[in-house]
Amino acid sequence: MEVIDTSKVEKVLEKYKDTRGALIPILQAAQVGYGYLPEPIIDFIAERLKISTNEIIGVATFYAQFHLKPRGQHIIKVCCGTACHVKNAKSLSVKVHEKLKINVNETSKDKLFTFEEVSCLGACGIAPVVVIDEDVHGELSPDKLGGILDKYKKPAV
Amino acid sequence: MDTKSIHSEKNKKNENTENKAQPVIAVCLGTGGIAAGGDKVFKKFEDEIKRLSMDAAIGKRVCKTAKTGCRGLCARDVLVDVSIPGTKPLTYEKVTVDMVPQIIEEHIVKNTPVEKWLAKEDYHKFYDSQQRHVLANSGIIDPENIDEYIARGGYVALKKVLETMTQQDVIQEIKKSGLRGRGGGGFPTGEKWASGARYSADEKFIVCNADEGDPGAFMDRSLMEGDPHAVMEGMIIGGYAIAATSGYIYVRAEYPLAVKRLHWAIKQAKEHGFMGKNILNSNYSLDIHIKEGAGAFVCGESTALQYSIEGKRGMPRTRPPQSVEAGLWDKPTVLNNVETFANVPIVINRGADWYSKIGTEKSKGTKIFSLTGRIKNPGLIEVPMGATIRQIVFDMGGGIPRKKKFKAVQIGGPSGGCLPESLLDSPIDYESLLGLGAMMGSGSFVVVDETTCMVDMARFFMNFCAGESCGKCPPCRIGTTLMLDILTRITQGLGEESDLELLEQMSDEIKTMSLCGLGQSAPNPVKSTLRYFKDEYIAHIRDKTCPTATCVALHRYEVVSEKCTKCQACIRNCPVKAISGSTKEVAFINKEKCIKCNLCYEKCNFMAIK
């Protein structure tokens, strides 16, 4: 098995050691540290919290936020809430697929992009919305989105 | 800190904000504002002011920039208020960084507003037809500064409660006000608190449900971002009424800004003695913790939410026992929605008698709706219960853009229903909506025009519910998936006449047999569209056409010559040059070249392509 540095998750476990029901915040913090939830880390958390790996996998697969596979450098989230749906968010998903040649929940070969369709982001006033990393882009058309994606395509120096 | 010092501080603050010499520039920094570049505009104002203050001629005038939360009218962002002492505050809409120097130069330095950029008349109409009580502070105060909340009467209700009212007094007052849960069900808040107070245990919890999962709803997010202390104050009052020992706010992970502002608000409230041990020197102590959700719609259901706080899979359980008896960690728990808590300080401050005069006989107070979809002024609105759909869509929303025709409004998200034009004059309150086959839900209000296919809309919601079903009970897990299959088939032109009856039957079965509210209400969008838009289903099944040409599999890509205005928008946008025509000749689509990309349909303003 690959060796993974557990120091990041050690700190997290220390922080939450007296908190009740801390599994979800622990997984969230671990995911921030590693970008996803690697298997050895899940085993490690299970051992420390004295619960079964099964239970953690159960929780991690229940919630949309957790990822068991590595993800790309940029995360593209196309909002699929009602307001965005009515304003043709589907055409934005089609655009992402055309431009980056990846399907929903896939990561591009160069590990630059991960493409996700997510439930309502609550920015309905500016629908349709796409969030790339932390930046909210509103009132989009497929053409506008294409231009925005081009900017991210340049590899970060 | 004792109460006296809070008040002296409050007065000090009042003097501060009323400092006559100080023009204030307030920039909207809600999620909508930031997405439109609000933080850049804010920074530009700060930079410009710094730069100009070096200039002796302008330096005399100290100018203050302020951040505010969501204004509600996100389509006009970035919104900027400029108030020059002694004159009426004016609002600029759609402000960009480039406009900043001119606004400062002309409005602030020379005191002549830049007329051409000021908000137009319909901006004022949007606000004037509302009754903003719960939203009174949103977009006015800086949500990251507790002093501004205090200056506008914040935490006065908490003080009144702790100093002059018993637990029972509080419960009675809330009961009398007629306040009902704003999260969807509409359960009377006072009743809930009364049953919560009845159980005694070593630990009791007050929980705020901020897992606003309904697609199309963002009023809770805006409240938490724009006025976090109001939610907190309501929660502390609720905690006192039921004798809670600690509190939790369960927020969706998708709302990072709200989480940040709540953390900030908790820290400030503690510093001011409004939270923590012996609140305002009383015997009551309460700490509030924030728990971030991890992305599961079903966690808006109260028992699922409690399991999620405990760190488990958020799957609902059977009731009884009710949460008030055995909820979080099997202790008595009272759970209310964000908007419900934000109503509480208003009830306490202004009294149940005043509050119960707003609204209808059974639905009291105001309700916030997030008005979105095909509407001119999408945004956040607050209206008295009993307002009609027409008032909301046409008076505040400004009607449908691009000369399209109103078709329906979807109220209540995946648990709600679609109401047609004939019901425009129906009042909006809990009972009326239920009677019409919709539901208050959390208050999403999505307007659709004649280009939206109602079968596809039903399919959209069923897809959502099937995806979000937790899988615990088979009627919901299997039923929603089977219904989705049928709806998908219909939108692909493969529907059969017997499908309609089957959909009706399955709707009733899922409704009666599902364990929790998600399953029980999942068929509502299908039932309401079958009730009001059956002809669209029949067109898909019998004629194999989609009347709105939304369902791509059924598109024929033909030009309706009577509707074509020869504007050539379709010709310009066709990527494969499959459309011919001119200013004298209606457009014609060459089917051999057409790749069915749907762009011509989207670009046509006259519904001339089917």
Within 8 A of B253 by CB-CB distance, chain A residues are 28, 65
CB B429 within 8 A of CB B543: no
CA B232 to chain centre: 18
- Contact of B214 with chain A, judged by CB distance below 8 Å, is answered with yes
Are the beta carbons of B468 and A119 separated by less than 8 Å? yes
What gap in Å lies between CA B543 and CA B610, rounded to an integer?
Answer: 14
Specify the pLDDT at position B59.
36
> A4 to chain B, minimum CA–CA distance in Å?
24
What gap in Å lies between CA B434 and CA B363, rounded to an integer?
Answer: 13
Coil/strand/helix, residue B66? strand
CATH class of B366-449: alpha beta
Specify the pLDDT at position B383.
94
Q: For B54-191, where are the E strands, in sequence order?
A: 64-68, 80-83, 90-92
Confidence of residue B21 (pLDDT cuts 50, 70, 90): low
Q: Tell me: the pLDDT tens digits for A5-59?
A: 888 899 999 999 888 889 999 999 999 999 899 999 999 999 999 999 999 999 9
Are the beta carbons of B293 and A21 separated by less than 8 Å? no
Confidence of residue B20 (pLDDT cuts 50, 70, 90): very low
> B209 to chain A, minimum CA–CA distance in Å?
16
Tokens at B32, concatenated? 């909508």
What gap in Å lies between CA A133 and CA B387, rounded to an integer?
Answer: 40
- Contact of B250 with chain A, judged by CB distance below 8 Å, is answered with no
What gap in Å lies between CA B230 and CA B450, rounded to an integer?
Answer: 40
Rounded to whole angstroms, the maximal C-alpha distance in chain A is 52
Distances (CA, A) of B425 to B355, B393, B398, B524: 24, 11, 16, 21
Are the beta carbons of B74 and A123 separated by less than 8 Å? yes
Domain boundaries, chain B: 22-128, 146-356, 366-449, 454-541, 556-610
Are the beta carbons of B446 and A86 separated by less than 8 Å? yes
- Cis peptide bond upstream of B321, omega within 30: yes
Rg for chain A (alpha carbons), in Å? Answer: 18
Within 8 A of A120 by CB-CB distance, chain B residues are 213-218, 254
- Contact of A146 with chain B, judged by CB distance below 8 Å, is answered with no
Confidence of residue B481 (pLDDT cuts 50, 70, 90): very high
CB A77 within 8 A of CB A71: no
Q: Could you tell me which residues come within 8 angstroms of residue B262 by beta carbon, excluding any fewer than 6 positions away?
A: B224, B228, B231, B232, B249, B251, B290
> A123 to chain B, minimum CA–CA distance in Å?
6
Higher pLDDT, B149 or A2: B149
- Contact of B216 with chain A, judged by CB distance below 8 Å, is answered with yes
Residue B88's CB is within 10 A of a number of other CB atoms, namely 7
Q: Decide yes or no: CATH 3.30.70.20 for domain B556-610.
A: yes
> A97 to chain B, minimum CA–CA distance in Å?
14
Q: Tell me: the pLDDT tens digits for B420-467?
A: 999 999 999 999 999 998 888 878 899 999 989 999 999 999 999 999
Are the beta carbons of A58 and B313 separated by less than 8 Å? yes
Higher pLDDT, A65 or A153: A65
Pairing type for strands A113-118 and A74-79 reads parallel
Distances (CA, A) of B462 to B515, B526, B587: 17, 8, 37
CB B397 within 8 A of CB B377: yes
Tokens at A120, concatenated? 């309502």
Which of A64, A82, A127 is nearest residue B413 as measured by Cβ atoms? A82
A84: enclosing H helix or E strand? helix A82-86
Specify the pLDDT at position A2.
59
Whether ipTM > 0.90 holds is no
Which of B31, B72, B215 is nearest residue A136 as measured by Cβ atoms? B31
For residues B254-268, give the mean pLDDT: 93
Coil/strand/helix, residue B83? strand
Q: Cα angle vertex B240, ends B239, B243, to 5°?
A: 80
- Contact of B401 with chain A, judged by CB distance below 8 Å, is answered with no
Specify the pLDDT at position B58.
39
Within 8 A of A83 by CB-CB distance, chain B residues are 215-216, 372-373, 378, 446
Q: Cα angle vertex B243, ends B241, B246, to 5°?
A: 115
Are the beta carbons of A125 and B380 separated by less than 8 Å? yes
Q: What is the mean pLDDT of chain A?
A: 89
Confidence of residue B610 (pLDDT cuts 50, 70, 90): confident
Decide if pLDDT at B602 tops 90: no
B208: enclosing H helix or E strand? strand B205-210
How many helices (H) and strands (E) are present in chain A, helices listed first? 7, 5
How many CA atoms lie less than 13 Å away from B446 in the CB half-sphere? 36
Which of B31, B36, B461 is nearest residue A122 as measured by Cβ atoms? B31
Q: Could you tell me which residues come within 8 angstroms of residue B389 by beta carbon, excluding any fewer than 6 positions away?
A: B409, B419, B423, B424, B425, B426, B428
Specify the pLDDT at position B53.
65
- Contact of A121 with chain B, judged by CB distance below 8 Å, is answered with yes
Q: Could you tell me which residues come within 8 angstroms of residue A151 by beta carbon, excluding any fewer than 6 positions away?
A: none
- How buried is A55 (Cβ within 10 angstroms: 0-12 exposed, 13-18 middle, 19+ buried)? middle
Q: Tell me: the pLDDT tens digits for B121-135?
A: 778 888 888 899 999
For residues A131-146, give the mean pLDDT: 89
Are the beta carbons of A65 and B217 separated by less than 8 Å? no
Specify the pLDDT at position A102.
92
Decide if pLDDT at A115 tops 80: yes
CATH class of B454-541: mainly alpha
DSSP annotation of B547 reads T
Question: What is the sign of the dihedral through the CA atoms of B342, B93, B32 and A138?
Answer: positive
CATH class of B22-128: alpha beta
What gap in Å lies between CA A82 and CA A89, rounded to an integer?
Answer: 9
What gap in Å lies between CA B290 and CA B249, rounded to an integer?
Answer: 5
CATH architecture of structural domain B146-356:
3-Layer(aba) Sandwich (3.40)
For residues B269-277, give the mean pLDDT: 96
Confidence of residue B531 (pLDDT cuts 50, 70, 90): very high
